[in-house]
Structure 1
Amino acid sequence: MPAMTEPKLIAGNANRPLANSIARRMSMHRGMSVGLVDARVERFNDQEIFVEVYENVRGEDMFIIQPTSNPANDNLMELLIMTDALRRSSADRITAVIPYFGYARQDRRAKARTPISAKLVANLLTEAGVDRVLTLDLHATQIQGFFDIPVDNLYAAPVFALDVKHHFADRLDELMIVSPDVGGVGRARELAQRIGAPLAIVDKRREKPGEVAEMTVIGDVTGKTCIIVDDICDTAGTLCKAASVLIENGATEVHAYITHGVLSGPAVERIENSVMKTLVITDSIEAAPPAKAARNIRIVPTAPMFAQAILNIWNGTSVSSLFETDTLVPIYEGMYSRV
């Protein structure tokens, strides 16, 4: 049954440009102005977070736009405190729109005496008063099961498929999709099927976190334009080494499509100095100035997809329809007119 009130957006400090873009897209869809709820999210001198909402939100359907990216703890606390402020202000429903879900890499106990931090974060969000979560490319899909509330996990693959078909239209038959590890095969296969390309795997063996001891290419990449697909690029060490290994194994070019550009430490410098022609990331995390200025890093917008997902949730219609490339073509307007 369609909602009677209008959806209302509120944003923390983690990615204001994305929040503003979502609001603009929703304004286009609704044919009326959709702005961010007037609020302040500040810090006291001791770095305690304080939130004050200036507008009446009683009985409203609220959407908090806040990725929990670096600084992860600060952004997570902002999200929790904003949720508490809205809950205590009698908001009817609170949806946490988390384009990048921090702590998702801690989704299991890999060894003794370690936490499952993703589950802890799920508990914190639920206890704070979140009624629903909307996110993008969870590192591990089983995290949806950590919640006892609905979780809508969007996928970047349909948008990446549009982008690949647009930018590689003249050589689709030369493409090879590559998973940078065995664990990411499902994600890479999804994109490979959408564009009708074969799949290869880079098998890596780690001595310890952050270091890769050995890489082996499974599949023939000779003469291929390789596209590495993954969900997170942090320090870019593994990504850049995988690109080099692919070139050594006969690939003519290497590109990468990564959903979340964490890009910490030396990542941008490594990417600029690597053999990769391009790295495509989404704006789920606000890119730092060095990433925006990098010659071979390109950013694909997610606001059209998130805006439509928010409207679908508010209106009680299907979110899974956004998993289909055909559904996204009109949403992304003329960006991919050649597809």
Structure 2
Amino acid sequence: MSDRSTMPTRIVAGTAHPGLAAAVAAVLGLRPAPCDVERFPDGELRPVVHGVQGGDVYVVQPTGPAVDDHLVELLLLVDACRRAGAGAVTAVVPYFGYARQDRRGRAGQAVGARVALGALASAGADRLVVVEPHTVALEAMSPVPVEMLTAVPLLADGLAELTPDEAVLVAPDLGAVKPAEHYARLLGRPVAVVRKTRLSGESVHAEELVGDVAGRPAVIVDDMISTGGTIEAAVRVLLAHGAAPDIAVAAAHGPLVEAAWDRLGRLPIRCLLVTDTLPAGGARAVPLRVRSVGPLIADAVARLHHGRSLEALLMRG
């Protein structure tokens, strides 16, 4: 591959979240490259990109709901950029759908993350940039390098403004312990941990709590909220252990299905803080605050383009 810094930087926006792509481009002093995505009556997509020949191209396309449609569009956009003569193509996937499918839970299951990563490499992506993926093992499954950006400092700044100093940070399951500890270091607050068992895609059973929350407000921190089942189970455990009915929730991603808002609306949650890795939409039964990852992604793009280290922006395993 040629030296990226000698190529013009180009941002290509998919249809999943053009506002975020425009925000990234604006921070870099650019405009997204012209791109048309034609959709046939049967749903088939045909993207056409312009002005990317010889460029260092960054295709911005989260693969949130509808995950399959947006993933296929991303694959076609990457291929279109390659066929238009791009010098390098990076897939910027702020929310990476299928990241939760990183292992088989039982015989006969697919490993969706591995399939999606292989397809991106086959389409022509040189590199993948994601924000707070569900698993740090993503790169081990990928044929191309994966840069995993952290949104924790961005969200921690928001929590410092929205929550009291005496609030306890709560990991709603064991997988969220390391991010919770990262929040704790930044905010100087204690951590509690809920142990859960997932019964199905929508049903979660929380069993016990490690840590002291009695009489204190709590902040539940997680990588994503989809159905709200994990949050509901954690809230029930916190209240049973005497936490104040003054709970905030922070997550990098909010692919909230419609039923999640009803579920969260029945709980004593006074604030939900997410980033804009996905477009905010739907009826909101809980006050929503959104912090933009546009500057974070733009910083990563600039560093990649000029061959500088991303170390300060990355998740810790």
> What TM-score does the superposition give when structure 1 sets the normalisation length?
0.88
Q: Deviations over 1:10-67 (max 9, x none)?
A: 111101111111122222xxxxxx10111101211111101112x3322110000000
- Corresponding residue number in structure 2 for 1:306: 297
* Alpha carbons 1:205, 1:212 under 8 Å: kept: yes
1:191 to 183, 187, 192: 183
What pairs with 1:231-246 in structure 2 (closer than 5 Å)?
A: 231-246=223-238
| CA distance in 1 between partners of 2:7 and 2:87 (Å) | 10
Q: Distance in 2 between matches of 1:220 and 1:250?
A: 9
Among 241, 248, 254, the alignment partner of 2:240 is 248
CA 1:214 to 1:99, structure 2 compared with 1: closer, same or farther past 3 Å? closer
Q: Which moved more, 1:12-21 or 1:124-133?
A: 12-21
Contact kept? 2:258, 2:282, Cα under 8 Å = no
Identify if the C-alpha distance between structure 1 residues 9 and 68 changes in structure 2 by more than 3 Å, giving closer, same or farther: same
Question: Structure 2 matches for 1:34-73, cutoff 5 A?
Answer: 34-53=30-49, 55-73=50-68
SS of equivalent residue, structure 1 residue 80 = helix
Matched to 2:130, the amino acid is T
Which aligned pairs between 1:1-339 and structure 2 lie closer than 5 A?
3-27=5-29, 34-53=30-49, 55-168=50-163, 171-172=164-165, 174-252=166-244, 253-291=246-284, 294-323=285-314
Counterpart amino acid of residue 275 in structure 1: P
After the TM superposition, which segments of 4 or more aligned residues of structure 1 sit over 6 Å from their partners? none
1:327 paired residue number:
none
Query: CA offset at residue 218 of structure 1?
Result: 1.6
Q: Is the 8 A contact 2:206 2:234 kept in 1?
A: no
Structure number with higher helix proportion: 1
- The alpha carbon displacement at 1:237 in A equals 2.2
**C-alpha displacement of 1:147:** 1.4
Aligned residues of 1:247 and 1:254 also touching (Cα < 8 A): no
Deviations 1:122-168 (A, max 9, x none): 10000100001111001011011111322110011111222222334
Cα distance change, pair 140–52 in 1 and its aligned pair in 2 (3 A)? same
> Which AA in structure 2 matches 1:242?
A
User: Which range is displaced more, 204-213 or 252-261?
Assistant: 204-213
Partner of 1:334: none
State the identity as a percent: 34
1:181–1:201 Cα contact (<8 Å) kept: yes
2:31 alignment partner, SS class: coil
TM-score by length of 2: 0.93
2-structure distance, mates of 1:166, 1:122: 37
Distance change in 2, residues 1:179/1:83 (3 Å): same
